[in-house]
């Protein structure tokens, strides 16, 4: 029979639930937005909520869903009704990206203008690192999932900093939305737990969010039109390349202010030149 001292030693060595660790993981994952764009079938929204909750994700954003809310979404959520109740519905993508410093897009389609591509594991690591630094109002990370039939449009892809690739069977690579979300959500949880075999250094600057970048791109396009540098009949090709350039650079607020100051000065110089006789 064990002595009282031995019993106390065994008792002190027994594992204790670490709620602090669980709370920290939940806090880290709360900054990751799963964004579904123009989803056709409400059941896919419910299945996505289930996939998210299983892995501890909670921020579901819906951009112009065809049918929502709907009983099929609730049925397919299988107990993740709380995510549906708190899901944010947006009238456009810009609204869904407000406050996001990093935007990741999922797509299996080849593009005529290649964008930087990373795998799901690296994307998850990057997302977790970036969601922990920067200004409190601009630290979220968005992961975009497109329509069931054809995914994201080229314009939506151009809002992304990286494309995320899931290396599926090339002979049959079709994943439905909830399956793709489940894979990304799993990698995010693995990264949050700190057991992913990947190391990413945090950025030493704070890039502006997607909304601020979109304002810059609108200003840039208008300035180039004013200067007659951009062909108004075919603006998209050059703008797509410039989006890729500046999304890769990911300027901070001071840099954006400098760039927009240059654009404004160019516009004013053009206006002055036109006023001269």
Whether the CB-CB separation of 64 and 94 falls below 8 Å is answered with no
| Same-domain check for residues 70 and 185 | yes
In a domain, 44, yes or no: yes
In a domain, 18, yes or no: no
Give the list of residues 6+ apart from residue 10 with CB closer than 8 angstroms, or none: 2
| Same-domain check for residues 107 and 175 | yes
Per-residue pLDDT at 21 = 81
Spatial distance between the Cα atoms of 81 and 70, rounded to a whole number of angstroms: 12
- The whole-model pTM stands at 0.82
- Domain harbouring 164, CATH code: 3.40.1280.10
Q: Which two tokens stand for residue 228?
A: 């007659």
DSSP string of 192-242?
Answer: HHT-SS---PPPSS-B--HHHHHHHHHHHHHHHHHTT-S-TTS-HHHHHHH
The pLDDT profile of the chain, 277 residues, written as one tens digit per residue, is 445 454 444 343 443 344 448 888 999 899 999 999 999 999 999 999 999 999 999 999 999 999 999 999 999 999 999 999 999 999 999 999 999 999 999 987 656 557 889 999 999 999 999 888 766 666 899 999 999 999 999 899 999 999 998 988 889 888 999 999 999 999 999 999 987 666 666 667 889 998 899 999 999 999 999 999 998 888 778 999 999 999 999 999 999 999 999 999 999 999 988 888 7
| Same-domain check for residues 105 and 169 | yes
Q: How many independent structural domains does the chain possess? A: 2
| Same-domain check for residues 58 and 175 | yes
Residues of the chain by 3-state class (helix, strand, coil), percent to 5: 50, 15, 35
| Same-domain check for residues 72 and 174 | yes
In a domain, 203, yes or no: no
- Domain harbouring 271, CATH code: 1.10.8.590
| Same-domain check for residues 223 and 189 | no
Look up the domain containing 135 and give its range: 25-193
Give the residue from 193, 218, 241 where a domain finishes.
193
- Please list, residue by residue across 5-36, b when 16 or more beta carbons sit within 10 angstroms of its beta carbon and e when fewer do: eeeeeeeeeeeeeeeeeeeeeeebbebbbbbb
| Same-domain check for residues 97 and 37 | yes
In a domain, 2, yes or no: no
Per-residue pLDDT at 1 = 46
In a domain, 204, yes or no: no
Spatial distance between the Cα atoms of 193 and 113, rounded to a whole number of angstroms: 35
| Same-domain check for residues 54 and 157 | yes
In a domain, 267, yes or no: yes
| Same-domain check for residues 179 and 226 | no
Give the residue from 128, 159, 193 where a domain finishes.
193
Q: Which of 149, 185, 178, 143 is nearest to 164 (CA)?
A: 143
Whether the CB-CB separation of 247 and 161 falls below 8 Å is answered with yes
| Same-domain check for residues 39 and 75 | yes
In a domain, 202, yes or no: no
Per-residue pLDDT at 22 = 86
Spatial distance between the Cα atoms of 68 and 39, rounded to a whole number of angstroms: 9
Per-residue pLDDT at 260 = 97
In a domain, 198, yes or no: no
| Same-domain check for residues 166 and 39 | yes
Per-residue pLDDT at 15 = 39
| Same-domain check for residues 51 and 177 | yes
Give the residue from 166, 193, 220 where a domain finishes.
193
């Amino acid at each position: 029979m064990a002595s009282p001292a031995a019993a106390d030693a065994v008792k002190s060595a027994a594992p204790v639930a670490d709620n602090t660790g669980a709370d920290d993981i939940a806090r880290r994952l709360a900054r990751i937005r799963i964004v579904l764009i123009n989803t056709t079938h409400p059941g896919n929204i419910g299945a996505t909520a289930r996939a998210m909750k299983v892995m501890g994700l909670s921020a579901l954003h819906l951009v112009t869903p065809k049918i929502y809310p709907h009983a099929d979404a609730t049925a397919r959520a299988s107990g993740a009704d709380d995510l549906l109740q708190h899901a944010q519905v947006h009238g456009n993508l810009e609204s869904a990206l407000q406050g996001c410093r990093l935007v990741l897009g999922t797509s299996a389609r080849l593009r005529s203008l290649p964008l930087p591509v990373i795998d799901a594991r690296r994307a998850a690591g990057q997302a977790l690192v970036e969601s922990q630094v920067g200004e409190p109002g601009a630290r979220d990370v968005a992961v975009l999932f497109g329509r069931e039939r054809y995914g994201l449009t080229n314009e939506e892809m151009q809002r992304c900093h990286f494309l995320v690739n899931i290396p599926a069977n090339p002979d049959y690579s079709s994943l439905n939305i909830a399956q793709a979300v489940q894979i990304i959500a799993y990698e995010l949880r693995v990264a949050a737990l700190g057991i992913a075999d990947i190391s990413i250094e945090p950025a030493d600057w704070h890039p502006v969010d997607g909304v601020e970048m979109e304002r810059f791109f609108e200003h840039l396009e208008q300035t180039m039109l004013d200067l007659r540098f951009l062909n108004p009949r075919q603006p998209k090709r050059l703008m797509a390349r410039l989006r890729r350039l500046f999304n890769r650079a990911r300027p901070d607020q001071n840099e954006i202010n400098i760039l927009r100051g240059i654009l404004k000065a160019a516009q004013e110089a053009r206006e002055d030149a036109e006023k001269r006789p």
